Chain A
Amino acid sequence: MSSFKGKVAIIGIGEVPTGKFPERPCLQNGIEAARMAILDAGINKDEIDVVMPTGVFSDGVLNVQLVAGKMVEELGLQRKAKANLQVFSGGSSSSTMLMTACSLVAGGHARMVLCVQCDKVGTIPTQQMIDMFTFSGDPEWEDPYGFFAVANGGLVATRYMHETRTTAEQLASVVVSMRKWAALNPNAMLRRELTIDEILASKMIATPLTTKEANVFADGGAAFIVANAAIAMQVCRTPVYPLGFGSRVTHYSLSQCTNLLDLGYAESGKEAFEMAGINATDVDIVEFYDAYPVYPLLSLEGLGFCKKGEAGAFVQAGNTWPGGELPMTTNGGMLGQGHTAAGGGIAILVEAVRQLMGKAGERQVKGARIAVETSHGGTFMDSHVCVLGTVLP
C-alpha cells in the first residue's frame, strides 16, 4: 500500500467543552471548533481549500445544510474551497475523515483540509436519545428483540469475560482510568473520579455493564486541519504526522460478527505499525476509542500491548492512569469526556494530536512522541488504527 508518510501533517486542532449546553446551538459548536483550529494552526483561513464536515445525528436539517456547504459560508471560504464534502462513518468518522483528507493532500488535490464536527446529543431527553440510537441495530433482524446501544457493549463484554476470565473489577477499572484522565481535562463532562466499588454499585443496565460503565451522550464539537507537509513545516511549530494507517470492516450487524474478541486488529494493527515502521514498544501513549470498557481492553490485547486476557489486570494495576507506564485515552474518552456521537472518536484523535503537540496542559504526558489512536463506527463494524508522530522517521 502506498504511504502518505512524510507528505501530510495535522497542523491545528480545536474543541469546545463537552457537556449539556441547551442554550448553545449545535452549529455554534462546529463554527467555534473550526475557528479554534484555524487560530491554533496560525494560518490564513482562506488557505483552506477543502471543507469536510462529518455527520450530525441530532439534527437532520443541519446535517443537510452542512452537506450543502453551510460551513463554507460561515467561514467565508466561498470561491476559496474547491470542495465541501461529508465523510461520515459514525464513531470512526475521525479516522475516515483523516484518511480521506490525507489522501486528498498526498494526491495533490488539496493543500489544506478542514475536518469539522458538531452535535447536540446531550440535551435530548434520555429516553428519546435511547430510542434514537436504537437504530444502530438492524430493524428487521435485531430491533424486534429489544437491541439498543448499551446492549452492544454488554454482549461483547459477556463473551470477552467468558473467554478470558476477566473480572467485573478489572472491567470497572477501565472506567477508573478514564475518570482519572477526565478529572484533568477542562473540556470533559464527567470530571469526578470513581472507585471500582462505586462503579459496581451503580445501577445495572445490560449485564455486565452498570450505569457508570456506559458512556454519556453530550453536546460538543471538534475540528482538525490536515495540510501538505511542506506547508506544515513553514506554518506550524509542532506539526503532527500521520505515520501509518490500517483498518478493517468486520461486520454490519453485531450478530454477524463471528469472533467478538477480534475487532480486525490482527490486520489493521499490522498494517498501521508496518507503514509507520514501529512496534508496540515504541509507543508513548495510546488514544483508544472506548464507549464501553471492554473495547480498550480488546485494543490493548489486539494491538500487542498485552497478552490475551491480561489487559484487565494491566489496567487495574494503574498502568494506563496518569503517571502510568502506558497512558491511555488521556482525554477521558466517552466514559469521561462524554460521547458527542461522531465526535466521540474525533475528540480522541484531537487529544492524540494535542498530546503530541505538547498542548495538553495538566495532563500532558512528558516527551510523548508516538501515539496510537483507534476508532470504531456503527456497532463496532470497523477498526481503524492510526500511528501519529512528532517527527518523520
Chain B
Amino acid sequence: MSAYVKPLPSPSSYSFPFWEGCKRHELLIQHCKNCGANIFYPKLYCSICLSPNMEWIRVSGRGRIYTFTIVYGYAPTAFTQDIPYVISVVKLDEGVQLMSNIVECEPSQLRCDMRVEVVFDDVTPEITLPRFRPIKNH
C-alpha cells in the first residue's frame, strides 16, 4: 500500500475532538452553551460571544451544496492524479459551512443547492476526512 502523500490536517489542542469524531465516523461541531451558536470550524472560544463554555454536538451530516468547482488542471501537485475532482462548500442543515469534496457523483450531474450527506474516508490510520455525496432518492 502506497503512502498517502496529500496534505493532512494537523489537529490542534482544540480541534482534535472533531478529528477523533471523524475517526469514529461521526460529524461533530461546536455548540456554544452561552449564546446558542453552532460553530465550525472549531474555535478556542465561541467566535460569536468569546465564551469558553462550548460543547461538541453530533450533527446529521446532511446539507446542501452551496457552491462547487470541478478541477481539470493547475491542481496542487499531490492532487494532479485525482483530476477531475470536485471541491465544494457545503452548508450543513445545522447552519455551518465547510469545504470538502463531492464524491460518488458524475461531475456533470452537480448543481448548486443539491442535497448531500457526509461519507467518511479513512485516508490514514490517524486521519479520516469527511467528504459528501448526493443523497439518493431525493
Interface on A for B, CB 8 Å cutoff? 127, 130-131, 134, 137-148, 150-151, 154-156, 158-159, 162, 203-207, 209, 211, 214, 253-256, 258, 260
B73 interface residue (CB < 8 Å to A): yes
Pick from B8, B15, B71, B88: contact of A205, CB below 8 A. B71
Pick from A156, A159, A203: contact of B72, CB below 8 A. A203
B120 interface residue (CB < 8 Å to A): no
- In whole Å, how far is A155's beta carbon from the nearest beta carbon of chain B? 5
Interface on B for A, CB 8 Å cutoff? 6-12, 15, 41, 66-79, 82, 85, 87-89, 97-101, 111-113, 129, 131
**Who on chain A is nearest to B7 by CB?**
A143
**Who on chain A is nearest to B80 by CB?**
A127
Pick from B6, B69, B76, B98: contact of A141, CB below 8 A. B98
**Who on chain B is nearest to A203 by CB?**
B73
Pick from B10, B74, B100: contact of A140, CB below 8 A. B10
- In whole Å, how far is A48's beta carbon from the nearest beta carbon of chain B? 40
Do residues A145 and B99 form an inter-chain contact, with CB atoms below 8 A? yes
Q: Can you list 25 A-B pairs, Cβ within 8 angstroms, ordered by A?
A: A131-B76, A139-B7, A139-B10, A140-B10, A140-B11, A140-B41, A144-B8, A145-B99, A145-B101, A145-B129, A146-B79, A146-B85, A146-B101, A155-B67, A155-B68, A155-B69, A155-B89, A162-B111, A162-B113, A205-B74, A206-B69, A206-B71, A206-B74, A207-B68, A253-B99
Instruction: Give 20 A-B pairs besides A146-B71, A203-B73 with Cβ atoms closer than 8 angstroms.
Output: A127-B77, A131-B76, A134-B76, A139-B7, A142-B99, A143-B76, A144-B129, A145-B100, A146-B85, A151-B87, A155-B67, A155-B68, A158-B112, A159-B67, A203-B72, A206-B69, A206-B71, A207-B72, A253-B41, A256-B41
Do residues A158 and B68 form an inter-chain contact, with CB atoms below 8 A? yes
Cα-based distance from A192 to B137 in the complex (angstroms): 50
